[in-house]
Amino acid sequence: MKTLDELLKEGVNGRRVLVRADLNVPLDGKNITDDGRIRAVAPTVKALAEAGARVVVCSHLGRPKGEPDPAFSLAPVAQRLGEVLGREVAFATDTVGTDAENKAVAQGDGDVLLLENLRFNKGETSKDDTQRAEFAGQLAAFGDVYVDDAFGAVHRKHASVYDVAQILPHYAGWLIAKEVEVLSKLTGKPEQPYVVILGGAKVSDKLAVIDNLLDKVDTLIVGGGMMFTFLAAQGYEVGSSLLEKDQVETCRSYLARAAELGVELLLPVDTTTAAEFAADAEPLTVGVDAIPADRMGLDIGPESAKLFADRIAAAKTVFWNGPMGVFEFPDYAAGTKTVAQALVDSEAFSVVGGGDSAAAVRTLGLPEDGFGHISTGGGASLEYLEGKTLPGLDALEN
């Protein structure tokens, strides 16, 4: 695929560049609680602006229903993007309407404009190719060329991700180029020992990545809510913990397959439990063979955390996706923090697979530069590791 470096060499002074960014940041009202995705795309936007391009940035935020919803406005993002860039960012109160058109026409060389939420338009996410292409045509009118730097959206066949690239000359931004470079190392021939750590709530969300990576890893570590379905597959009672009964047999088959392959599938040996799902619930740590019927596991226990950290310390390559527990609750954050700190302390090439894992790193106050790479796309990074064709990347490569 062509990259931003090639576009900059061609020259962009005075040219209109439509940039698809992933500015889908968490908001508390109008306050941004984590600006990681804004900072991740800023180098691409800044390089284009400094080279004299007339930059029009577009992004989604949340899941509005195809029509304007003030709760999902990108207005706060425009302000923060401007602060990160160190230059004014104009904001259009619509996406492809009169305000966007007028502000785009008024742009000078080096100016940056952010359009309102793409998903305020039904055409963005439509399954109808014609409706999606029509909206893509309206978007494409804002650019002479298109740069996609929204890795967190490349697994979506959306108008701004897939269809615009069919219309305009297209390039991968620096963030996408980096993501692809890093993730391809994990699916190619990673340096051994290779350890994959999977957490999060549901095992069903991770089945395909387990299936694709099981014969490539030395150790597969399972924590988070998904661990209880694996423990049930081993015959343990899991109390009122999160359990996907319809996946127990699948987990049992993975345990058997791992044994056949000589792969260590490492599960927790203890868990920190609560009587209810609440931040102030009294924690009780028990062995996984002694979970009370009326309690739920909300974190891996300290022995498990030490066991996982030891495997990380011995690894040369590590991929981590999904917290080890409910890290938002202070009493149930220790497992996630121990695993994350082990990655910081490790000399391995470490990749954090976006989403909740990236949020945990920031919430727990760990240094982002302590990791080899923090992906901006949880779902996209998982689907890449599953071996799927991602529409956004496919569009850039053609």
Annotated binding-site ranges for ATP: 206, 297, 328, 354-357
The whole-angstrom separation of Cα 83 and Cα 61 is 19
Q: Judge contact between 117 and 63, C-beta under 8 A.
A: no
Sign, Cα dihedral of 59, 65, 68, 70: negative
State the DSSP code for 151. Answer: G
CB atoms within 10 A of CB 26: 14
For residue 271, the cross-strand partners are: 286, 300
- Residue 212: burial class (beta carbons within 10 Å; 0-12, 13-18, 19+): middle
Q: Which residues are annotated as a binding site?
A: 22-24, 37, 60-63, 119, 156, 206, 297, 328, 354-357
| Residues ≥6 apart with Cβ < 8 Å to 21 | 37, 41, 44, 45, 57, 58, 59, 149, 150
Backbone angles phi, psi at 397, to 5 degrees: -85, -10
Residue ranges for the known binding site for substrate are: 22-24, 37, 60-63, 119, 156
Q: Which residues are bridge partners to 170 per DSSP?
A: 146
By CB neighbour count within 10 A (0-12 exposed, 13-18 middle, 19+ buried), where does 86 fall?
Answer: exposed
What are the residue numbers of the active site?
A: 37, 202, 355, 379
Helix (H, G, I), strand (E, B) or coil at 63: coil
